[in-house]
Structure 1
């Protein structure tokens, strides 16, 4: 092995990605019998790097899943615990990352350094090499991308001796590799998005069954309010898996009255779940009973929470006329929440000086076979409703002056930033983007064709936007449809210092 730098680690990590054909095959099969092997394989990987499954209990895990808001919930929990127990070391594991892979593994809110990431990466790499006795992992001597980073996170949290671990599920729950933790302190489920039913081809009950798989014997099971079918399944799962109690998050007035650090009215639900998870965790670990009113440390934690790339407003330090509105929404429901935030007085409808109205641009992409045309239609419908609510003089048809559909390829030369490499993306294919442009033309037939751009990279999109701002007129840009798109834009536009 020639080198052991951060770049070397990222290059090797990218070799563990699944290509497009593999992803499609997995999607078509629904995982099949392989799902049942995931946890057995993960336990074996753990043993090969020197840990027993039971060791994971010492990480004091708060385990969170859901189809919407699980990442935001984890960010709120992390911030609450850091403000309530400042002497603690809090580990946070989330996915995906926006700009750098090391964002996924945080200590006290800060991504681990490139040096530590490289150290932990090669620790795991070497141990898997040295301990090559295979049983369940015979087909794959090393785990694929997400499972490898999960192993790294566990190794990092053990080595750094965290006091608590906020652990976000990757996909699903029952068969997710994070579910190898035998006994977390608390488990939580954020909203079960109804629109995932169509995307995943499963009923809400089936999705709830998967998510409820993180419930454990003797461990509190906590959920936000869910549609009846989902709630019934979750309640039954908590009984079947012998959870110590089943808690539906009650209304918490102080949460609704707090200016949350993560924008969007939908975050009130996620913040409420985070408060309940944190209270139960502190009760079980520190014998701190929930007070009658929300403690100041909780409120400060909610205010200070940050979750980049979600309903985030960023002024461009390199091109001051531009304000970027970033939201990685990638489902119908989350895009509607995005528009509810963007087309409001706190964002794009905020007061502007007379005659100083901005140029508005939409930069959009969607991935993994998602229905782009239906997403655009839902966005326009929500936009019309929001503009009517706020008494705006413009319509959804005229709200944007330009629309850009680009790929998630980072740079104009067709290359990705190392951390953003996606082997499942065909860098030369603009079929999805052209389809989005055609859908836009059908939905907004009066929109000038010359103002719709189909571009091969994020760098191209940033260049078009900055050219628009060259006359000094304010430019407001909504970037949405894909977290990968948002992360790539933060990288290309040089926003990391102000956005992350």
Structure 2
């Protein structure tokens, strides 16, 4: 290769993406594509020069769940950084919003473009030089997420981090991150009931997958779960010989602080982060805690940031425009989003000028868009009533915009946001977007058809918002349904400096 820039690395990484059909099969299997999922990942690890035991040097806190695993990871990261400011703390999460390097952070900051390119090509070259394979089914290079996971492991080991918060990508037992032999502590966030319907699997099956991150001799934590899920998690902890099994509940002290991540649902995530951090610091820093919420923990929770989740930002170009960003993509997470949004502290704040509201929405074609939009409208009505507002839920938004996740109006993606996950036929005919528009028209029959927009790109959607803006009014925009959509809006609307 003539150059080895960050842009080159991203383009090479994109060549490893799976197509839409493969990703759908992966989702349906809960991350288990085959019995070789973990053996193949171990083979890749060996080919780049590491043993599984080497990964123990990262000092891992392993976190999974169907809801809140990213937020819990962000809280845990912030607690450790505020408690041990002299440490290097690594954080690996997915997906990214604007740049792929966001997935690999050290001390709260994404690794630089130069670092990402360096670590990327070191892994790339090692795989090119060592082509010995144990399994005929193993491709010469791993798929996108597996490759980024290898880059993260290589980066954290090279940078000699003192702690690593490792968020599972999909499932748990067969996830690419689940090759660390002995994490310091493991945790499972809420098992969302809506995933049962979406994935067509029982709660026990989902819990079996999530509990697969529990390890021999390692504390196993979780939050309050439905009985079926809790029974399976407890059984998995015993089966895998975890050193202990603990169910975490929020303490009264948590109610007294303002969490850095908005929404009542974050209290449970914060409680798990506290318990994980406490176990970790007891094991790795020989610290003891009598206070249920030490000052450094409280500070970490208050200062935690997690872009694109219940986040409100003022537009840098127009102070009269506020963007409400939340990647909610399930019935339960969308309900939590609306509970946060439709409140006197957020979108219902009193104003002495007219207010226009817009919704920018997209969702995976496989999910039931009408169900998500129905939930959105129902929850808006509930929250308006609870807030004492006489607004009607059907009139909460003045405009609704259904667009694809394609970044630009010319049909191109920002390289970091390129995706092969959208079926080409769907994309070409705006199939999902037209279905969403039809669902909205059925749910709100008297909504002006001219205010329902079906658009081919994020740039087109942002243009509609810009046309709504006026010096004499405030514009409020909810962007939800997809983290990829949120990332695209941050990029196109120029929100990076205030959102990331």
Which TM bucket (shorter chain)?
Answer: over 0.9
Match among 359, 363, 366 for residue 366 of structure 1: 363
What are the superposed Cα offsets for residues 205-252 of structure 1, whole Å, 9 maximum, x if unpaired? 110000000000100000010001000100011011110000100331
TM-score w.r.t. the length of structure 1 is: 0.97
Gaps of 5+ in 2: none
Q: Equivalent residue of 1:183, what SS?
A: coil
Separation of aligned partners in 2, 1:419 and 1:133: 30
Q: CA deviation at 1:352?
A: 1.7
Separation of aligned partners in 1, 2:241 and 2:136: 30
Partner of 1:316: 315
Q: Equivalent residue of 1:178, what SS?
A: coil
What are the superposed Cα offsets for residues 250-302 of structure 1, whole Å, 9 maximum, x if unpaired? 33122222100010110000000000000011111122123233111000000
Given the superposition, is the C-alpha separation of residues 25 and 228 from structure 1 closer, same or farther in structure 2, using an over 3 Å criterion?
A: closer
Separation of aligned partners in 2, 1:180 and 1:128: 18
Partner of 1:444: 444
Q: Equivalent residue of 2:153, what SS?
A: helix
Q: 1:45-444 alignment to 2 at 5 Å?
A: 45-136=44-135, 138-353=137-352, 356-425=353-422, 426=424, 427-444=427-444
| Contact 1:319–1:466, Cα closer than 8 Å, also in 2 | no
Query: What is the root-mean-square deviation of aligned Cα atoms in Å?
Result: 1.3
| Contact 1:41–1:137, Cα closer than 8 Å, also in 2 | no
Q: CA deviation at 1:70?
A: 0.1
What are the superposed Cα offsets for residues 341-374 of structure 1, whole Å, 9 maximum, x if unpaired? 1111121111222xx1310111100015111110
Separation of aligned partners in 2, 1:184 and 1:232: 23
Q: CA deviation at 1:30?
A: 6.8
Given the superposition, is the C-alpha separation of residues 368 and 243 from structure 1 closer, same or farther in structure 2, using an over 3 Å criterion?
A: farther
Gaps of 5+ in 1: none
TM-score w.r.t. the length of structure 2 is: 0.97
Given the superposition, is the C-alpha separation of residues 280 and 412 from structure 1 closer, same or farther in structure 2, using an over 3 Å criterion?
A: same
Partner of 1:477: 477
Q: CA deviation at 1:25?
A: 4.5
What are the superposed Cα offsets for residues 119-165 of structure 1, whole Å, 9 maximum, x if unpaired? 01100000000111111265411000000000000000000000000
Q: In the comparison of the two structures, how many residue pairs are matched?
A: 497
What are the superposed Cα offsets for residues 50-105 of structure 1, whole Å, 9 maximum, x if unpaired? 10011111110000000000000000000000000000000000000000000000
Q: CA deviation at 1:23?
A: 2.6
Partner of 1:497: 497
Separation of aligned partners in 2, 1:421 and 1:4: 19
Q: Equivalent residue of 1:86, what SS?
A: coil
Separation of aligned partners in 2, 1:21 and 1:403: 29
Separation of aligned partners in 2, 1:67 and 1:458: 27
| Contact 2:30–2:171, Cα closer than 8 Å, also in 1 | no
| Contact 1:44–1:137, Cα closer than 8 Å, also in 2 | no
Separation of aligned partners in 1, 2:455 and 2:435: 12
Question: Please, which moves more after superposition, 427-436 or 383-392?
Answer: 427-436
Given the superposition, is the C-alpha separation of residues 478 and 223 from structure 1 closer, same or farther in structure 2, using an over 3 Å criterion?
A: same
Separation of aligned partners in 1, 2:129 and 2:237: 40
Separation of aligned partners in 1, 2:404 and 2:328: 16
